[in-house]
Amino acid sequence: MTTVVVIVAAGSGTRLGSTQPKAFVALAGATLLEQSVRGVRGWSRPFSLVVVAPPGWETPARQLLADYGDVTVVTGGETRTDSVRAGLGALPAGTTAVLIHDAARALTPVAVFDRVLDALTSGAQGVVPQIAVVDTLISVDRSSMATGDAVDRSALGAVQTPQGFHAASLIAAYEAIDGDFTDDAAVLRAAGHDVVAVDGDAMSFKITYPADLQRAASVLGGTGGHRVGTAVDVHQFDPGVPLTLAGLAWPGEDGLAGHSDGDVVIHAIVDALLQAAGMGDLGTHFGANRPEFEGANSRVFLAHALTLIRDAGYVVGSVGVQIIAQKPKIGPRRLEAETVLTELVGCPVALSATTSDGLGFTGRGEGVAALATAVLVVV
């Protein structure tokens, strides 16, 4: 299947009561739009991404999403139905599966995307994720407030997104309708197609009211909350190069091989920081597709990672690193290294070291490993 995910983010967020459109409301150190795109980017299947932005907000949307890979941003409309139609208009030729997703369901687990696409691959024309309804349901006459018997909720489901469709069927269904529909499955059903359900997820709740935003913020770490990242890096000794370790030069010691200065301590710190921010790892930001960083000093990686993290609304609270190596002896220069690293990261960095009792590659003196833990504070 050639899959496109369309994220509709053009709503105004009236019920949230913010001055800006809902997609641009702050959520745990970023915007709701970034959090929802970040979530979808974690999906392992190949797909292209279309984001439908509120009219006049296309440029800010593109700027916010510049670090999230290729994203086509198009202009939304008055109603959600109009916005989805705009998104469908941007599907690349050859699209066979389209998943329409609400930006407002920013915490949707990628497993739901898997289930929807798997059902499409198995031949469904339309797929909705649904979850069981937990409250008792009754009928209510809104004018008299008289109530009827409880409805059998075991036969009902609450519908979420992403909703998946055979692209050609959904496009044809949208061409045939007029007026407003609450979801895309209803449009497909109006065209006479069946829609099947897969399991949704409680975390796919729609951020509608301020209390929903608070819930999402607390799940993501929330303002004042913390996020933790951990990472290991390993390099082998190369006697032909000078040693740079923990931000210090070590004259007379064997150096470490590596694509840059081989400073495993800083590399592990950068990886832990990026992981804590949910921003991938060294390869994501400094890999083969970023030639401008080729052979760069580890301090350049660190400075760039710190910028990305700050822009995403985090400050680094503290970092701990353990070096696992037979040599060099860290103890005599531990405080010196901590001072340099603390200066570089801009928060307390604690360093410790151990040997591995002569075992393994570090025990044989073949290389150095470093294990870093980073704590970010959400601002």
The binder of ligand CTP chosen from 4, 5, 6, 8 (CB under 6 A) = 8
Dump strand ranges (E) for 141-284.
147-151, 157-159, 163-166, 196-199, 226-245, 248-256
Q: How far apart are CA 154 and CA 187, in angstroms?
A: 25
Select from 9, 213, 248, 264 the one that contacts ligand CTP (CB under 6 A): 9
Do 103 and 23 contact (CB within 8 A), yes or no? yes
With binding defined as CB under 6 A, does residue 96 bind ligand CTP?
Answer: no
How many whole angstroms from its chain centre is CA 209? Answer: 22
* Residue 194 touches which member of ligand CTP, Mg ion, none, C-beta under 5-8 Å by kind: none
Q: Is position 12 an interface residue for ligand CTP (rule: CB under 6 A)?
A: yes
Which is nearest to 237 in space by CA: 253, 252, 217, 248? 253
Where in 3-32 is the site for Mg ion (CB under 5 A)?
Answer: 11
Kindly tell me which of 106 and 372 has the beta carbon lying closer to ligand CTP: 106
Closest distance between ligand CTP and the C-beta of residue 27, in Å?
A: 13
- Given the rule CB under 6 A, which of 43-51, 96-104, 305-313, 314-322 is the region that contacts ligand CTP? 96-104
Nearest-angstrom CA–CA distance, 14 and 220: 23
Q: Which two tokens stand for residue 10?
A: 């053009």
Q: Is 52 in the site for ligand CTP (CB under 6 A)?
A: yes
CA distance 206 to 9: 12
Nearest distance from C-beta of residue 217 to Mg ion, angstroms? 21
What six digits make up the tokens of 379? 């601002």
Place of tokens 């009792």: 357
Token pair recorded at residue 285? 């930001």
Q: How far is CA 246 from CA 165, 193, 216, 268, 279, in A?
A: 52, 62, 37, 10, 23
Rule CB under 6 A: say whether 206 interacts with ligand CTP: yes
DSSP-assigned letter for residue 88: H
Q: Does 106 bind ligand CTP (CB under 6 A)?
A: no
Binding residue (CB under 6 A) for ligand CTP from 72, 208, 342, 352: 208
Residue placing its CB nearer to Mg ion in the complex, 11 or 21? 11
Residue 195 interacts with which of ligand CTP, Mg ion, none, CB < 5 to 8 Å by class: none
The number of beta carbons lying within 10 Å of the beta carbon of residue 201 is 17
The interface region with ligand CTP, picked from 2-10, 176-184, 262-270, 272-280 by CB under 6 A, is 2-10
If one asks whether residue 267 binds ligand CTP (CB under 6 A), the answer comes out as no
Q: Which of 30, 97, 103, 264 binds ligand CTP (CB under 6 A)?
A: 103
Q: Any contact of residue 76 with ligand CTP (CB under 6 A)?
A: yes
CA-based nearest residue to 349, from 285, 236, 270, 249? 270
Strand bridging mode 48-53 / 3-8: parallel
Cβ atoms within 10 Å of 202's Cβ, excluding its own: 11
Smallest gap from residue 209 Cβ to ligand CTP (A): 8
Shortest spacing between CB 8 and ligand CTP, in angstroms: 3
Q: Which residue in 13, 162, 229, 278 binds ligand CTP (CB under 6 A)?
A: 13
Q: Which residue is nearest to ligand CTP (CB)?
A: 11
Binding footprint of Mg ion on the chain (CB under 5 A): 11
Residues that bind ligand CTP (CB under 6 A): 8-16, 22-23, 52, 76-80, 83, 102-104, 206, 208
